[in-house]
Amino acid sequence: MSKHELQKGTISPLRGRNRTLAFQVLTVFPAVALVVLVIGYPVYYLVSLSFTNVSAFNLLNQSYRWIRFRNYQKLFNDPIFLRAIAHTLGYALGTVGVQTLLGFWLASAVYRMSRLQKTLVTTLLLFPTMVADIAGALVWRPLFDVSTGVLNYFIKALGFSTVNFLGDPILARITVMAVAVWQWTPYMFLFVLAGMESIDTSLYEVAKLEGASSRVVMTRIVAPLIRPVLLVAVYFRITDSLRVFDKVFVLTGGGPGSATETISTYIQRTGFANMEYGLASAGGVVMLGIAFLFGLISLKLVSAYND
């Protein structure tokens, strides 16, 4: 039985339903309990707050009111919020798309390397992901500076005119995305590589014998087979990207103007900075809603494949 004839299915319980049921409950319960308990209350709080006008000023003396959908109206009537959503979606899809493509390229090349080289290269490739968001953005910031940054220094030395990485509205968006790609491509790379290594090598041998180019191998064989794994990786990257804050905040602050405004910088500016917790919560619910949509889509895609 070769691996590529993937079959998913459930095993018929062998030692009686009860034994298996016990096993199922025991194994799943801790995870669910932990997660639901710690997130349940905050999410409930988040949603209820979003329908109120709670701010630091009425919180302690309890003079806040239920204002139903007013927060949401305020958000969706603000063109800057809508723009922030557009930016965030573009950022998420764009960065994850590029990360995936690069990940495939890297994995395909690394897969064929000798064990020693593979180990070395993989370790080195993973470094950018190791760098914490805080440190990364902080270190990148001065590199992008027009007058005192290293990158522009080399660009000028090569005879080109300076690149306004952070001050030009369009370039600023690209720059922030570039930093994200730098940081997370190794993540996609590792998942693709892990997926590739789970596939039976005989498949590769057959492909090689038939003279298939690596591009064909990757797209026709690898991609379909590692789809479940890939979708998980993509899903997590997208939901993570939708939340982007630190990178943007450190590099551009959301500017110039509102060129790099994301949902989270918007919430920070209009909600938290003003201690308007009701409004901030409404923004959070919107963010959650968008992530939820993506989650549903991923789920559908995965189960469609598995059927």
Q: Which residue has the tokens 């669910």?
A: 32
Among 16, 31, 159, 210, binds another protein (CB under 8 A): 31
CB neighbour burial string for 181-196, b if at least 16 within 10 angstroms, e if fewer: bbbbbbbbbbbbbebb
What DSSP string runs through 218-231? IIIIIHHHTHHHHH
- Tokens coding 280: 């901030």
| SS3 category, 55 | strand
Task: Candidates 27-35, 64-72, 90-98, 215-223: pick the segment binding another protein (CB under 8 A).
Answer: 27-35
How far apart are CB 68 and another protein at their closest, in Å? 17
C-alpha angle with apex 190: 226 to 247, nearest 5 degrees?
120
Q: Which of residues 217-276 bind another protein (CB under 8 A)?
A: 228-229, 231-232, 235-236, 239, 242-243, 245-246, 251-259, 264, 267-269, 272-275
How far apart are CB 78 and another protein at their closest, in Å? 11
Q: Which spans in 144-243 are helix H?
A: 150-157, 169-198, 201-209, 214-216, 223-225, 227-242
Q: Which of residues 130-189 bind another protein (CB under 8 A)?
A: 130-136, 138-148, 150, 153, 162, 164-169, 172, 182, 185, 187
Between 105 and 124, how does the x/- string for binding to another protein read (CB under 8 A)?
-x--xx-xx-x-xxx-xxxx
Q: Around Cβ 132, how many Cβ atoms within 10 Å?
A: 11
How far apart are CB 137 and another protein at their closest, in Å? 10
Q: Which of residues 42-71 bind another protein (CB under 8 A)?
A: 42-43, 45-46, 49, 56-57, 59-61
How far apart are CB 35 and another protein at their closest, in Å? 5
How far apart are CB 82 and another protein at their closest, in Å? 15
Using the rule CB under 8 A, is 73 a contact of another protein? no
Our CB check for another protein shows the closer of 76 and 245 to be: 245
- Backbone dihedral region of 281: left (phi > 0), alpha (psi from -120 to 50 degrees) or beta? alpha
Using the rule CB under 8 A, is 207 a contact of another protein? no
C-alpha span between 225 and 210 (Å, rounded): 19
- Tokens coding 96: 């994850």
Nearest CA to 257 out of 168, 177, 175, 176 is that of 168
Give the count of residues interacting with another protein (CB under 8 A): 139
| SS3 category, 244 | coil
How far apart are CB 212 and another protein at their closest, in Å? 12
The radius of gyration computed from the CA coordinates of the chain, to the nearest angstrom, equals 24
Using the rule CB under 8 A, is 304 a contact of another protein? no
| SS3 category, 66 | strand
- Tokens coding 21: 């049921």
Q: Are 234 and 104 within 8 A, CB to CB? A: no
Among 63, 224, 292, 297, binds another protein (CB under 8 A): 292
Using the rule CB under 8 A, is 9 a contact of another protein? yes
How far apart are CB 96 and another protein at their closest, in Å? 15
Using the rule CB under 8 A, is 101 a contact of another protein? no
Using the rule CB under 8 A, is 129 a contact of another protein? yes
How far apart are CB 76 and another protein at their closest, in Å? 17
